[in-house]
Chain A
């Protein structure tokens, strides 16, 4: 053939612009990171063309170095507090402040356009500075953040002239009941996505209606509880092009005029693919939704505490194209059976507890999970809060080999298999063995070191592992650290893992983003040693007792330890109760 006569092409003969154009097609962060390692010239080109940056831990680097590294930054994703902060394990004021980032970027005249934050402390001051410093700012997404009020939102609304997206998910916002929504100027017509479902207070309904009316590109609208049913109906008439709808209050008399108007309005919304809300719901009004159900791909009823199992199942029977379902456990095992027989395209299922602190009442058991795993061949992502689980069930569920995320939470933390009284080692072992693509796993129930043996042996692609109340000895943790080479985040609470496990392979932690250990058997001395030997790690102790660092002796166990790799050493904003070793 003609192989020999082909001329080799040297990429370096291309001008930078061409290379840059090629790099534009490379969007994954990992790939771009790899590209920048090829040679100096590629590093330089990639550096100046990089617009999107993801920082999984805001303390891994400081704002100034970020800006120096990627001066053309336009879109930044930042995560702050450790994951277990979601469950009240991290005291307030731990850290994760947004302000220094905004300040640095404003000063450097970065042309920030998008900001996505998770578990960060966002002050009104930082929102205001943000709104005034970046004229092209387009998208703000805040997930599980806190520290701001509706005044901050008012600043965003007033000053961001080209705002396309304001998406607030599950944030703790102090609601001053101001007219933040009215602060969107009449000239603002660019909104594509508006989600304020997590706000608790009243909003100006007339302003909302006008805003929606003039936002002709609006595709996603999620309302809060204060928006009543008749407003919802009027909004739908103005925005039939919606793709994603979150209802506000969904309570109305089914015989009323407003209800009939609503039914008519929703019929013309045939682009809706995603539905959520229903924080307040009148069950008998759910039938109005049926006409749009057949096109839904995402249904989130996880806050709809007012819907009972029979209503839920009746609704779901219409949702044949559903790919993601978030629901409360009051759907019951039988209801999950209906899901299994109806939603053949289902990829993601999340079943939340309607009575989280009342373990005896969870309405789903292993049976529901079996039904779904057998009925939904595309299932790859699961979050399941249940009353109990058996090894046999997990072994059956393991036949569904596509799982990428598998999070099982048995409400009673060390509950064994109720049929055999055995720990759930074999069941989880089956899951990790068959699901070769598993990246995220959360365990619960009674578990011994054996399950970690299995995880270490089979879970080769694991990136995130959450362990609670499990294991018997250091061996458990060692199996995991030795076996899961791709691990990025490991979080452990209430397990008997101690110093030997922590210190066995210290270098491992530099390949991971972070490690959390609370209420384990790790001592202060071991943490100190780790901090000393590994300068690229920050080892932080969260100490909520009265004692100071000098009073505690090295052999005492620490309550909470959080360590993470970093390029910039100790952070400067740590509060008193956080000891930086």
Chain B
């Protein structure tokens, strides 16, 4: 759990040409990390994407993808670039579903270089389909209006990689190692909260040196201020919890959730919920904060600042519905089958 985010962070760092991003709020960016010139960071950048990459590359060959018109074929790295909001317009991104009603359109712009695609076009370019080997089921929040279209487009079977591959839901069943890798990239994406002044310098890592894990990337030593004893104990105890046999109770079921227009996905553990309603409200909360954060973080004029309650209302009014993709690759509406 606390083992280093493998190589992902460095990708981010190497995209930062210099630490000086002015967020326009009059806040001065400051290089606190003593990484000084990011030089140590940059140098180790590109080469060290972890095994994830290898796994992904395996699927790459089989994937069909539609990118944005005029875009390059999306590489693995693109998803990582999401963390660097300022640079987004330079690189084509994960094909995303646009939101029709303008919510998040401002964030959209930054994310999707202003291209809004027709809805059906976007069906193929799900962000899920990045070739994660393990997660086969993916959850999506979609706009209500698109419901009728969705099953069909979905059924086109254009989903690379995933379709036909049987569902392996449980992170933990793959063993601690794989689970660590799996979760962390997604978590990295989530790690970009409302990074205002875009100083990705502060996006840091893990690898508590003393825990023996090699510090493969630049990091803020000693942050967060957690005693090293605690950090090590939690790290090893999470591994143990994975390995404990005969442990009663459900294993964690992590699934990816993506929302239209979101630049990155979230993961939820289904075993922590017991009803659809809990899941739905948790997802709402997860994505409402997210969306709001996105809107809040851009200093550019012309963005829409939604009050949190307004957004919630919108979510409540079912602007979005929950759908999932099952093992046959069909998009299904959440709620039909009983929770168990």
A residues whose Cβ falls under 8 Å from a Cβ of B: 84, 86-89, 144, 170-172, 198, 225, 251, 253-254, 279-285, 302-303, 305-306, 308-310, 352-361, 365, 385, 387-388, 409, 411-416, 418-421, 423, 442, 446, 466, 468-469, 472, 493-496, 519, 559
Contact = CB atoms under 8 A, between A and B. Distances in A.
B-side interface mostly: loop
A379 to B, nearest CB: 21
Given A303-B233, A354-B234, A144 B272 contact: no
B272 A310 contact: yes
A496 B192 CA distance: 25
B228 interface: yes
A466 to B, nearest CB: 8
Contacts of B206: 356-358
A466 B223 CA distance: 13
A172 B210 CA distance: 11
Contacts of B269: 308
| Leading 3 A-B pairs by shortest Cβ distance | A357-B206, A360-B190, A360-B191
Nearest to B199: A414
A362 to B, nearest CB: 9
B245 to A, nearest CB: 9
Nearest to A307: B241
Given A357-B207, A416-B194, 16 more contacts: A88-B208, A171-B229, A279-B237, A280-B244, A282-B247, A284-B249, A305-B241, A352-B226, A353-B224, A357-B204, A358-B184, A359-B203, A360-B187, A361-B190, A414-B32, A421-B196
A425 to B, nearest CB: 12
Contacts of B188: 360
A336 B187 CA distance: 23
B237 A280 contact: yes
B1 interface: yes
A419 B233 CA distance: 35
A306 B269 CA distance: 13
A519 B32 contact: yes
Contacts of B199: 414
Interface in B83-123: none
Contacts, number: 180
Nearest to B207: A357
30 contacts: A84-B222, A87-B228, A88-B208, A88-B210, A88-B228, A171-B229, A253-B246, A280-B241, A282-B244, A303-B230, A303-B237, A305-B234, A309-B272, A310-B274, A352-B226, A354-B234, A355-B1, A356-B231, A357-B207, A358-B187, A361-B191, A385-B224, A388-B193, A409-B225, A413-B32, A414-B202, A415-B195, A418-B293, A466-B225, A494-B220
A282 B196 contact: no
B224 A411 contact: yes
A302 to B, nearest CB: 8
Contact of A559 (B25, B34, B274): B34
A303 B223 contact: no
Contacts of A254: 248
Contact of B229 (A84, A172, A356, A469): A172
Interface in B68-95: none
A387 B230 contact: no
Contact of A306 (B208, B223, B226, B241): B241
Contacts of A89: 221-222
Contact of A359 (B193, B230, B292): B193
Given A253-B246, A414-B32, A86 B202 contact: no
B167 interface: no
B173 interface: no
- Which residue among B25, B202, B208, B234 has the maximum number of chain A CB atoms within 10 Å of its CB? B234
B227 interface: yes
Contacts of B34: 494, 519, 559
Contact of A170 (B225, B227, B292): B227
B229 A170 contact: yes
A144 B227 contact: yes
B224 A469 contact: no
Contact of B224 (A281, A284, A356, A418): A356
B150 to A, nearest CB: 28
B230 A352 contact: yes
A302 B207 CA distance: 21
Given A86-B225, A88-B209, A446 B233 contact: no
Contacts of A308: 269, 271-272
- Which residue among B34, B226, B244 has the maximum number of chain A CB atoms within 10 Å of its CB? B226
Given A86-B225, A254-B248, A308-B271, A469 B32 contact: yes
Given A279-B233, A310-B274, A355-B1, A305 B238 contact: yes
Contacts of B177: none
A358 B194 contact: no
A15 to B, nearest CB: 50
Interface in B1-19: 1-2, 5
B233 A416 contact: no
Contacts of B246: 253
Given A86-B225, A88-B209, A310-B272, A413 B234 contact: no
Interface in B209-225: 209-210, 220-225
A387 B193 contact: yes
A303 B234 contact: yes
A302 B231 CA distance: 11
Contacts of B249: 282-284
A171 B230 CA distance: 10
